[in-house]
Every structure is written in structure tokens, then in C-alpha cells.
Amino acid sequence: MEKSTVKRKKKSPSPVGSAVNRNIFLFLRALGAAASVLLLCMLLFDIQWRFGDAQDQVLEIAERPIGTPHPTATPPPVVTPEPEDDTQDESRPMPRPTPRPRPPKPRFPNERDINFQELSEYNPDIMGWIEIPGTLVDYPVVTTFDNEFYLDHDFFGNRDRRGTIFADIRNNPDWNDPLVVLYGHYTRDGSRLTTIRNFRRDWFLNRHDRIIIYTPDGQLEFRVFAVFVRDDEHLIGTRDFRNPAVMRAYLDEMQDVSERYHIIDLSEVDETDSILALSLCYDNRTKRLIVHAVFEPPVIERDPGEPAYIY
């Protein structure tokens, strides 16, 4: 018996069925994307809540009236590790250099009441508080035996990739050095020293050129005069700024390459001035954005022959 040569026509899928399947697929894909976004938001919120909570605690402690009793539940004081015998391994961090007597900087009375007494009970590494009015920069400043610990620890000594703003180990904690360098991270949430990236713009500098450092002995004020990007060289580790000639050479270096800098105005800065440098990781950590600010001592009314500054 001969086979039929008539080809059977394949049954085409129903247009209605195809539309339903496509809608189901699109719905499931959208649902998956929404779930991923929700999970990411929850993760970021959890990170922000935990990290933000530590800073909120620091602010709450700083603003307590002196003599206020401790709350019933408080985080333990920070105990930073002490450096081991560095004579065995040159790669180990060196202990803080012995402070050298220097004339104290004249200071204003603190505009804010910072409870340094209680802050030091939580963390004896506290050396001051930095504020750039009108910005997010409003943090404690700490110092310790190396330049590593506070890169990834918060004020209470807990692990935190955003770290804590800290001074270079070579700076004395009395703020009287001719150049004080503070380090901080760039963060996606805008915390720590992230805000100082805006100093690359003239409009931001014109509005926020005042930097305040609160200390137990009074308030120091600085005015921003130079903003630029350079390599990640440790400034104090390679130069002795106690020598006025070295400071003069550094200022001349700024002037010589000023066309590559964002902002620079040396018209009222010289080698006898004291400078604050805020150093922020930049360009995948191969370079640093550095904001330089010159110390501006308070001037008071005086009788002829009396000093113009508050000592």
C-alpha cells in the first residue's frame, strides 16, 4: 500500500496562548528584578543603619553635658593594639614619636560644647573634632600608633570599611605642628571626608572655605587656600615641615605646577604659617585629593604694645 504523499499541516500555536506565555514570562522577569532591587535596598539600608548608628552614638556622646551619668547600655571603650617590639621587624609600625615642645596655637573659645571628657573614656585616641560648616563633615578626629588601624575601624574600634578620620602618626596630638595631615575615605554614602571633593569647584569653596577644629583647649580655625590631586606620597614622612625652608619649597612647588591644580591662592600664605591638610583617597587609591587650609589665629582688640593674639 502506497504511503500518502499528502503532508500534514503542523498545528500553529494559538495567538492567545502565545500572548499569555509571553505575559507570564515578562511578569516573572519583572518580579525577579523587583526582588533583586528590594534585596539590595535592604542590604544597603542595613549597612547604612549599622554604620550610621555608630556615628549617631558618637554625636550623642559629644553633645552630652559634662557630668551627665552614663546610660545603662554603652559600647565598651576602644582598646587599640599596642605596637610590638619594632627592633625585630622594620615593617612593623613605629610608635608615636615623642612630642616636641612647640608654641601653642592661639585658640578661640569653642563654639560648640564637645564632651571630650566622656569621648576620651570611650576612646582615648580622641584628639579633636572636625567640622566644615554647611557640609556633612562633622566627625571626631583620632590618632593612634600607626596609619592603618582606623582605615577600617570606627570610633568604637568596630570593623567599618569607611574607617574614622585620623591624623598622621607623625603629628603630635596637640595640633601645634606646622603641618597637620588628616586622612579619610571616599564613601558612596557621602560620609567621612567625601564632601571635600566638592572643593574642586569655586562655588563650593566660596561658601565653605572655613574649617573648624574643636579641641579640649579651644577652637582652631583654618581657611582653604589650595586644592589639588597628587600621588599618594606621605607628606610628613618625606619632608620635615618644622624647617621653614622645607615649607617654603613645598609652597613653591604648588605655585610652579598651579596650572594642574584645581584651586591655589598663596597670596596670604608663607612658610611661617601653620597648615591643615585633608587627604582623601582618589582615583582608585593611586592618588590623593588634598585640601590645604591655613591657620587663622583670633585677633582681639588690644592696647598699644600688647599682643594681638589669644594665647
Least confident of 66-70, 92-96, 217-221, 247-251: 92-96
Mean residue pLDDT of the chain comes to: 75
Residue 47 lies in a domain: no
- Site of grid cell 549617631: 56
Q: Is residue 123 part of a domain?
A: yes
Within a domain: residue 31? Answer: no
Report yes or no on 96 lying in a domain: no
For 37-46, 185-194, 235-244, 266-275, which range has the lowest pLDDT when averaged over its residues?
37-46
pLDDT of residue 120: 92
Give the predicted TM-score (pTM) of the model. 0.71
Return d(Cα 167, Cα 221) in angstroms, integer: 17
The total number of structural domains in the chain stands at 1
> Are the beta carbons of 193 and 186 closer than 8 angstroms?
yes
Does residue 59 lie in a domain region? no
Residue 136 and residue 59 in contact, taking contact as beta carbons nearer than 8 Å: no
Q: Does the residue 16 lie in any domain?
A: no
**Beta-ladder partners of 142:** 126, 166
Residue 119 domain boundaries:
104-295
pLDDT higher than 60, residue 267: yes
The predicted pLDDT at position 206 comes to 87
Q: Domain with 145 in it: what CATH number?
A: 2.40.260.10
Spell out where the chain has E strands: 126-131, 138-142, 166-167, 179-184, 210-215, 218-231, 263-264, 275-282, 287-295
Q: State residue 22 phi and psi, 5-degree precision.
A: -65, -40
Exposed, middle or buried by CB within 10 Å (0-12, 13-18, 19+), for 54? middle
Q: Is residue 159 part of a domain?
A: yes
pLDDT tens string 130-176: 999 988 899 999 998 788 899 889 899 898 887 889 999 999 999 99
Instruction: Check: CB of residue 221 under 8 Å from CB of residue 273.
Output: no
Neighbours of 285 (CB within 10 A): 10
4: CB partners within 8 A, 6+ apart: none
Residue 11 lies in a domain: no
Between residues 216 and 14, which one has the greater pLDDT? Answer: 216
Q: What is the DSSP string of 153-199?
A: B-TTS-B-TT---EE-TTS-TTS-SSEEEEEE---TTS-TTGGGGGG
